[in-house]
Copies of this chain bind each other. A is one copy, B any other.
């Protein structure tokens, strides 16, 4: 339980500082599974492995201009914790290119031996 909360606090701290790639590098397990609420041609619903997850984060950072945001949590429960993300962004590429959007989502993380082994993103589109 404590290890889960510690991992969550570190993740939130890094994300608040805009250091998502650093969070992946230091807190994620090699076999991390990342699951979106919905998939798209640019972003499959389920990806596996720290290389694919890092590439996805790099793609996201490159393809969005971030005007502002907020990170809240973590809220722990056993070996899982929830974090809430808000982003004010403009898409640079894809079907939403040039559009400014408010993204609002919750993420559910599962921790094993102090490393994140699964992340699931919760949001509604449309």
A residues at B contact (CB < 8 Å): 5, 35, 37, 72-78, 80-82, 84, 104-106, 108, 120-124
Contact = CB atoms under 8 A, between A and B. Distances in A.
A107 to B, nearest CB: 9
A76 B12 CA distance: 21
B82 A108 contact: yes
Contacts of A73: 106
Contact of A75 (B5, B75, B77, B104): B104
A122 B37 contact: no
A38 to B, nearest CB: 9
Contacts of A123: 75-77
B75 A105 contact: yes
A73 B105 CA distance: 9
16 contacts: A72-B84, A73-B106, A75-B104, A75-B106, A75-B123, A76-B122, A76-B124, A77-B108, A77-B120, A77-B121, A77-B122, A77-B123, A82-B82, A82-B106, A82-B108, A84-B84
A106 B80 CA distance: 12
Nearest to A81: B122
A104 B83 CA distance: 12
Contact of A76 (B35, B37, B78, B81): B37
